[in-house]
Structure 1
Amino acid sequence: MTQPNLLVIMSDEHQARAMGCAGHPFVQTPHLDALAARGIRFTDAYTPSPICVPARAAFATGRHVHQNRLWDNAMPYTGSPSGWGHALQRTGVPVESIGKLHYRHDEDPAGFDTEHIAMQVAGGVGMVWASIRQEEERVHMPGRMLGDYIGPGTSNYTDYDEAVVERSQRWFKERALLKDARPWCLYVGLVAPHFPFVVPEDYLGLYPADRLPEVKLHPRTGYVRHPWVEKQNAMADSESKFRDEAERLCAMSAYYGLTTWMDHNVGRILNGLEAAGFGDDTLVVYTSDHGDNVGARGLWGKSNLYQESVSIPMIMAGPGIAPATCDTPVSLLDLSASIPAHFGSEFDCEGQPLQEIAARPADPERPILSQYHAVGAVSGAFMLRKGRWKLNWYVDYPPELFDLKSDPEELTDLASDPAYRETVRYLEGELRGLMDVDAANEQAFADQAAMVEGYGGREKAMKLGAPAATPPPELPG
């Protein structure tokens, strides 16, 4: 074998700091900790968009959201533009997927030889109703985003993850029996710790409510949310829909329980890899599509530019990887670049291979871009991370500026402080040097309006797509 195999595991909605290896004070992730201990943990990784479908489309293509023009959860990846999977197929690398993709249809040429039990957008169209987001037409989510029930048990999501793990274990066994010496690439998509917040009781019990810390910057303590964030959150306002304080705390416990449940499943996948004889010949990458606020600032889910939402875990371990941490900022686009580079396949994208980044001296000034044009957003939101600074730029709203070196929890917005006026101006110039934010904002609204019109207008669009979490596919048997 000239090259190791490559296994990419992507969870859904895993907050970057919610790992023992990232220094979290109580979240238990022993399998991810072990993976990080024998590999490289990228300490400052980001999603290109803090919501599922645009983030996953950007990961597929290695291109920014504004380049793909796949803006929200009703604009799934269809196989165009060409992605890293196509690059592997062109050079004869076996490439398959198991689990959540959140693309359009199984039938689309999305860059996999086979897609096993793939979760795609609902009905092949996704959340069309959520694309109606202009100020004068703002949509408010009916019901409760986090699910009707929060607590111990199983859900269609935990059942689906169980099936994904079992299919992965079987895939390794089947691959080992093939007389095919070619190195392979397998992508595995898990849904935990994404809501609904239902988790097996043993995992919920790891995080009793009376041991949970107070969340930071809660509005009931006097904190006033940024006006753009306030309007985006009003779309669902999950915090206001808890039945009581006990249920709110149970939601936190369930999120952390689902995180440990997901870690348990990662361990089972890696055990299956080892049992099939691939352990010493496979590079493993673990990441997530975006994070979750878990009650910080009174916010739940993702859909904003704070670290809880936009920062993601990124771990790489396997042959030739020495244990280390890499403090250079990276994104999912860099993972996109890494996959074809691993096999020597040509691939034109915006990222750089993670192994090349890790081999160089740390570069804290490397700029990272993320953006949001989806459900609840009354205008485009753009994040630039550069050095110690993080600029959150909102079209038609005041910006936010955080010094992540002295204020990693983003407790103090410096944007309105005259002492930082030049810093804001400099970072705005850097952001506009990377992209035309105003043009992207206008294009997103235009594309979404055209899509809604194509479905027959607002009334029909309001009935298209899942009301909250995307349903998993029907499982065999």
Structure 2
Amino acid sequence: MAKQPNILFIMADQLRADYLGCTGHPSIKTPTIDALAASGVNFTKAYTQAPVCGPSRMSFYTGRYAFSHGATYNNVPLKVSEQSMGDYLRPLGYRVGLVGKTHMKKDVEGMQRLGVDPESSRGVLLSECGFEPYERDDGLHPDQTVSPDLAYNEYLREQGFAGDNPWHEWANSAEGEDGETLSGWYMRNCDRAARVPEEHSETAYTTNRAMDFIRESADQPWCLHLSYIKPHWPYIAPAPYHDMYTAADVIPANATEQEKENLHPVIEAFMGHDESVNFSREEVRERVIPAYMGLITQLDDHLARLIAYLKEIGQYDNTVIVMTADHGDYLGDHWLGEKELFHEASARIPMIVHDPRPQADATRGQLDERLVEAIDLVPTFVEWAGGQVPDHILEGRSLLSLIQGDRVESWREYAVSEADYAWRKARFALELEPDQTRAIMITDGRWKYVHYEHFRPQLFDLQSDPQEQNDLGQDSACKEQRERLEQALYDWYRMRKTRTTISNATVANMTGKAHARGYLFGLW
């Protein structure tokens, strides 16, 4: 077997697919990521399985749709029975570590029922989504009293940044004209520099810890999930990134009065949320988006530092790098803030794969427009590691053939993304019960169909209307397309992999052999 490659699995939280130089942004500076794309494969039609942190990540890590793994929103526990990439890679000899965020909620009740001690070696892996938690930090610590095991806060205190919660008081706050602390939670302050010096910011610290993990893993192949907290809110960047961009760099919002004329009830309810109301104001966009862009360029600069380190220690040529995000950010597009719904700004994600080895030479610099899903990474990683993909469990499809330029007779016809907005205020406006808030998107790359429980569907033609301004969900001329995609969605539901405790190969080997095993039913 060829030498197993290291796998550097990088995720940036809330990074829009179109906020990179290599994906078409006109002014953002992302030379490191652009270089990865120029010498790798840039999948331009990649979709998250759920445009919210928690369920998106659970799909990334398990290789399964949210419908299948059940962790449909933030802080919904992932069932103890679900396996993740660590469970697949560790038996193949890999050290599988985490630096940064997972937003995983452990299944306490499940572990109690099985008698698993959460502090045991098995319990820790079950609590951390299968990763060795080299350093987990989900990045949101608004309370003044923070768990004493938050390493980043301890690090800040060691550097002299004192306080009950240095994460908030230094890394995510600015300083006012009179020396007062201005919280980064309030977007009016995000044009100011974070109080913390850049070299001690979250992004810098996370990169340092990634280097520590790599340094300590020299004796075996490793998979590191390097999960950056930024550019997720609070939108506040350290100098010099806080004012690197200005209002002149802000792309006009993809929001028109026309789309308000035919509002879908769920979209209208989300437009009433605070983040949507505020991001609909140009004053807010012109203050937030430059900071958002600065955080992205800061991340890019630290990736340059990390790649230089891999080259310095001689591991770059055998390290496959995947650069992606859990979901996007509306930033005022469609009169919305945050994410959760299915417009391209929210549901489409960057997906760049750089394999430095000769077997990937045929695809260097390619833009691949085939439909790709977040769940495709786990089977890809298993194949890179030389393992057998458990096709009775994993619902994604390995990207290895696409990356190596192999002939592929047929590829995915549809991509799917799901939402469960039971926790959001929109549910009250729509007068729904918590079990009535499911929505699901299916796209064939041109047509995008969104099914909402209890409401009419949406339909967009991404070819003639790439900005998704014209909802064709009630257009009689598009009845055939709606019916086709509704049937495709029904077919998708019927094909979910629920028989996960026995392999397809085992089933095939046992088929029709009952008599040979001594079960003589049906004989005269």
TM-score range, shorter chain: 0.7 to 0.9
- Quote the Cα distance in structure 1 between the aligned partners of 2:189 and 2:56: 27
Compared CA separation, residues 30 and 368, structure 1 to 2 (3 A) = same
Aligned-CA RMSD value: 2.9
1:68 to partner: Cα distance: 1.0
Of 417, 442, 453, 1:395 maps to 453
1:230 to partner: Cα distance: 1.7
Name the residue aligned to 1:453: none
1:176-191 alignment runs, 5 A limit: 176=218, 180=219, 182-191=220-229
Unmatched runs of 5 consecutive residues or more in structure 1: 124-142, 438-477
Name the residue aligned to 2:327: 290
1:368 maps onto 2:418 in alignment: no
1:153 maps onto 2:171 in alignment: no
Compared CA separation, residues 71 and 300, structure 1 to 2 (3 A) = same
Name the residue aligned to 1:31: 32
* SS in structure 1 of the partner of residue 305 of structure 2: helix
Larger radius of gyration: 2
- Quote the Cα distance in structure 2 between the aligned partners of 1:308 and 1:337: 26
Is the CA contact (8 Å cut-off) linking 2:280 and 2:335 kept in structure 1?
no
Compared CA separation, residues 84 and 113, structure 1 to 2 (3 A) = closer
- Quote the Cα distance in structure 1 between the aligned partners of 2:259 and 2:487: 35
1:456-475 alignment runs, 5 A limit: none
Name the residue aligned to 2:75: 74
Instruction: Write the letter of the residue equivalent to 2:485.
Output: L
Q: Which has the higher contact order (CA 8 A, sep 6+)?
A: 1
1:309 maps onto 2:351 in alignment: no
Instruction: Write the letter of the residue equivalent to 2:210.
Output: S
Name the residue aligned to 1:267: 304
CA deviations 1:336-374 (Å, max 9, x no partner) are: 221112112243300011122443459676211101003
1:150-299 alignment runs, 5 A limit: 150-154=190-194, 159-176=201-218, 180=219, 182-219=220-257, 225-234=263-272, 236-241=273-278, 245-299=282-336
1:352 maps onto 2:409 in alignment: no
1:385 maps onto 2:443 in alignment: yes
Instruction: Write the letter of the residue equivalent to 1:265.
Output: H
Compared CA separation, residues 412 and 244, structure 1 to 2 (3 A) = closer
1:172 to partner: Cα distance: 2.5
- Quote the Cα distance in structure 2 between the aligned partners of 1:144 and 1:397: 37
- Quote the Cα distance in structure 2 between the aligned partners of 1:89 and 1:333: 19
1:211 to partner: Cα distance: 4.1
TM-score by length of structure 1 reads 0.79
1:422 to partner: Cα distance: 0.9
Unmatched runs of 5 consecutive residues or more in structure 2: 107-118, 142-182, 428-436, 496-524
- Quote the Cα distance in structure 2 between the aligned partners of 1:159 and 1:147: 19
Name the residue aligned to 1:329: 371
Compared CA separation, residues 114 and 410, structure 1 to 2 (3 A) = same
- Quote the Cα distance in structure 2 between the aligned partners of 1:221 and 1:415: 13
Compared CA separation, residues 201 and 99, structure 1 to 2 (3 A) = same
CA deviations 1:291-336 (Å, max 9, x no partner) are: 1111111211111100000000001112132312221101110012
- Quote the Cα distance in structure 2 between the aligned partners of 1:76 and 1:55: 13
Name the residue aligned to 2:493: 435
* SS in structure 2 of the partner of residue 384 of structure 1: strand
* SS in structure 2 of the partner of residue 263 of structure 1: helix
Aligned pair count reads: 413
Percent of counterpart pairs with the same letter?
30
Compared CA separation, residues 401 and 40, structure 1 to 2 (3 A) = same
Is the CA contact (8 Å cut-off) linking 1:192 and 1:261 kept in structure 2?
no
Compared CA separation, residues 300 and 172, structure 1 to 2 (3 A) = same
Of 476, 480, 483, 1:425 maps to 483
1:434 to partner: Cα distance: 0.7
Compared CA separation, residues 76 and 360, structure 1 to 2 (3 A) = farther
- Quote the Cα distance in structure 2 between the aligned partners of 1:144 and 1:164: 19
* SS in structure 2 of the partner of residue 366 of structure 1: coil
Is the CA contact (8 Å cut-off) linking 2:75 and 2:104 kept in structure 1?
no
Is the CA contact (8 Å cut-off) linking 2:53 and 2:327 kept in structure 1?
yes
